[in-house]
Amino acid sequence: MKWAALIAWVITAGGGFVLLSIWLMRGGMRQQQEAGNRIRPPLILSHFLLAAGGLIVWIIYLVADKDVLAWVAFAILAVVAVLGWTMFAIWFRRRQARAGGSEIAPGVPAEQHFPVSVVTLHGLLAVTTVVLVLLTALKVGGS
């Protein structure tokens, strides 16, 4: 199960990197000063950096086989998940507002260029990763 968690985490990170790249290319860093409910640089960058740091801790856990590292990785992943849900809520609310024709702010936020399929896959894989990491830390399934 610990290897399945690694695979899920790496694929999730790949999807996240695609989303981050789109956000950067569409001017996401300039959103810091713009009005409206947008994904701000500190939110998305902390999500990215904590996810990458947690993945490194997970790889160290796989090499060292120290149970405490699995729990540290899970704790980091829990924070990453909260940040991810926060970004998803911002993205989804803006998307719903645009679909209803009530776009108020001029200009489209960078995150509104995210493909729905990538957001969906990233989210589903993220939930899978959290569950697999938790199950591994709990020693369920003989990992």
Model pTM? Answer: 0.89
Q: Over the stretch 91-132, which tens digit does the pLDDT of each residue have? A: 999 888 777 655 545 578 999 999 999 999 999 999 999 999
Q: Cα dist. 39→19, 34, 117 in Å?
A: 12, 11, 19
Residue 137: pLDDT above 70? yes
Q: Cα dist. 122→3, 15, 40, 84, 87 in Å?
A: 18, 5, 19, 10, 12
Measured in degrees and rounded to the nearest 5, phi and psi for residue 8 equal -60, -40
Q: How far apart (Å, rounded) are the C-alpha atoms in residues 88 and 142?
A: 33
* 51 burial type by CB count under 10 A (0-12 exposed, 13-18 middle, 19+ buried): buried
Q: At what angle do helices 116-137 and 2-25 cross, to 10 degrees?
A: 150
**Contact (CB, 8 A) for 113 and 26:** yes
Q: Over the stretch 52-82, which tens digit does the pLDDT of each residue have? A: 999 999 999 999 999 999 999 999 999 999 9
Res 80: pLDDT: 98
The domain limits of the chain are 1-28+110-143
Q: Over the stretch 5-47, which tens digit does the pLDDT of each residue have? A: 999 999 999 999 999 999 999 999 988 777 778 999 999 999 9
pLDDT tier, 143 (very low <50, low <70, confident <90, very high otherwise): very low
> Any idea how long the chain is?
143
Other CB atoms within a 10 A radius of the CB of residue 95 amount to 16
Res 30: pLDDT: 87
